């Protein structure tokens, strides 16, 4: 889907181009940002929520261009994804190249998720920045879950998180900023030490009580809104059974169709996804063995107010967000702009 820029946007592209020429020798230099430098120049939780809201609003109003991510799969349990996007309202244009190796922490002592993000000058297409994308991914993913939760279930008093790694910890940090009436958070991980680590990492930052659930069923029984950030596999694990869920709950997974019984999506009164094209792509790759449930709308349409989302307290809603690159590019552009302004990073020959 191509997007034709407005006159105001074209003028903004020219202004940005002129600014970049004052900072870099375009075509001969790029700004290189390490993960530590991305964090230094990057937005905090509140700023990230604002940036991702802007990105999803653009997505919901179709003010973007973003083909479905493509990938390669050297092993059955891993993936590499190329994720381009163009968001003119944010002067953001580029691509993220990201890999996920669930075995890395145990087998090699390396992160599960790594990657790079490249930004381009919209006026000329010249690459202007290369930066770490793992931290960006870790920040934007829980931001989208939290914004979706606020749009679909703003009065929720309980939230449950399956998976207590980097993403699970991020979700706990973000959800307290989005659900203003939250009274309790339940967490569950197959490794008890991961739950302890999560609680320790957010201590002093999250004042809402955090409860370690003894089982997945206990978490489901006690929570109005739930999310999951676990492993991504083609064959569903069906850890959460369809018999456990009930009317009035909101389920916002980040791990495709892996953790939940696929029948839950079909039981839902509304099945919402961040990108129809990307979910259909994954369906063709075998990640939804029984096929996708009928899709109601996209997450950005709810956040932008284009679609009403929840219209009845008793609706069971599933909102599947597998990660879309409009969010990455808007985050990357914000980090790049601040890094240039503050002199963070290294200018390297192109």
Per residue in 142-187, pLDDT (tens digit) is 999 999 999 999 999 999 999 999 999 999 999 999 999 999 999 9
Does any domain span residue 221?
Answer: yes
The domain that holds 188 is classified in CATH as 3.40.50.720
User: How many separate domains does the chain show?
Assistant: 2
Do 68 and 95 share a domain, yes or no?
yes
Q: How many residues does the chain have?
A: 350
**Dihedral pair phi/psi, residue 92, rounded to 5°:** -110, 125
Question: Which token pair is 346?
Answer: 């290294």
Do 74 and 126 share a domain, yes or no?
yes
Question: Which token pair is 248?
Answer: 């009035």
Does any domain span residue 2?
Answer: no
Question: Which token pair is 77?
Answer: 């349990």
Above 90 in pLDDT, residue 189? yes
Do 278 and 337 share a domain, yes or no?
no
Do 158 and 176 share a domain, yes or no?
yes
Do 221 and 115 share a domain, yes or no?
no
Burial of 214 (0-12, 13-18, 19+ CB in 10 A): exposed
pLDDT-derived band at 103, boundaries 50, 70, 90: confident
The domain that holds 62 is classified in CATH as 3.30.1780.10
Do 109 and 121 share a domain, yes or no?
yes
Does any domain span residue 189?
Answer: yes
Question: Which token pair is 168?
Answer: 């699970």
pLDDT-derived band at 232, boundaries 50, 70, 90: confident
Do 265 and 149 share a domain, yes or no?
yes
Does any domain span residue 349?
Answer: no
Task: Pick the closest to residue 144 from 288, 3, 330, 283 (CA basis).
Answer: 330
Does any domain span residue 130?
Answer: yes
Does any domain span residue 253?
Answer: yes
Q: What is the CB-side half-sphere exposure of residue 102 using CA atoms within 13 A?
A: 13
DSSP class of 53: H
Do 338 and 319 share a domain, yes or no?
no
pTM: 0.95
pLDDT-derived band at 113, boundaries 50, 70, 90: confident
pLDDT-derived band at 209, boundaries 50, 70, 90: very high
Predicted confidence at residue 16, as pLDDT, reads 98
Contacts of 218 (CB under 8 A, 6+ apart): 186, 188
Do 238 and 299 share a domain, yes or no?
yes
Do 69 and 195 share a domain, yes or no?
no
Do 290 and 256 share a domain, yes or no?
yes
What is the span of the domain harbouring residue 187?
139-323
Does any domain span residue 128?
Answer: yes
Do 316 and 332 share a domain, yes or no?
no
């Amino acid at each position: 889907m191509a997007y034709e820029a407005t006159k105001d946007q074209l003028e903004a592209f020219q202004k940005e181009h002129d600014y970049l020429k004052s900072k870099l020798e375009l075509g001969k230099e790029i700004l290189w940002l390490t993960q530590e430098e991305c964090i230094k120049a990057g937005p905090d939780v509140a700023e990230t929520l604002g940036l991702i809201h802007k990105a999803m609003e653009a997505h919901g109003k179709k003010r973007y261009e973003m083909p479905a991510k493509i990938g390669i799969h050297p092993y059955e349990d891993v993936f590499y994804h190329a994720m381009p996007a163009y968001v003119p309202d944010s002067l953001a244009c580029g691509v993220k190249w990201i890999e996920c190796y669930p075995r890395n922490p145990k087998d090699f002592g390396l992160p599960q998720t790594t990657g790079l993000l490249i930004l381009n000058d919209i006026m000329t297409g010249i690459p202007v920045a290369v930066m770490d994308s793992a931290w960006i991914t870790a920040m934007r993913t829980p931001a989208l879950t939290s914004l979706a939760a606020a749009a679909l279930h703003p009065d929720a008093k309980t939230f449950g998180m399956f998976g207590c790694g980097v993403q699970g910890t991020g979700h706990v940090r973000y959800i307290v900023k989005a659900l203003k009436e939250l009274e309790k958070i339940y967490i569950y991980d197959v490794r008890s030490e991961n739950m302890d680590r999560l609680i320790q990492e957010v201590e002093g930052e999250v004042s809402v009580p955090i409860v370690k659930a003894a089982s997945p069923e206990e978490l489901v029984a006690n929570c109005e809104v739930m999310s999951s950030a676990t492993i991504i596999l083609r064959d569903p694990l069906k850890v959460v059974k369809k018999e456990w869920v009930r009317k009035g709950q909101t389920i916002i997974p980040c791990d495709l169709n892996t953790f939940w019984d696929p029948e839950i999506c079909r039981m839902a009164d509304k099945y919402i996804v961040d990108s129809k094209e990307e979910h259909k792509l994954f369906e063709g790759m075998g990640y939804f063995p029984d096929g996708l449930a009928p899709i109601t709308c996209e997450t950005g349409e709810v956040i932008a107010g284009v679609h009403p989302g929840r219209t009845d307290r008793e609706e069971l809603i599933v909102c599947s967000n597998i990660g879309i690159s409009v969010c990455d590019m808007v985050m990357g552009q914000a980090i790049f702009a601040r890094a240039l302004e503050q002199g963070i990073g290294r200018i390297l020959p192109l």
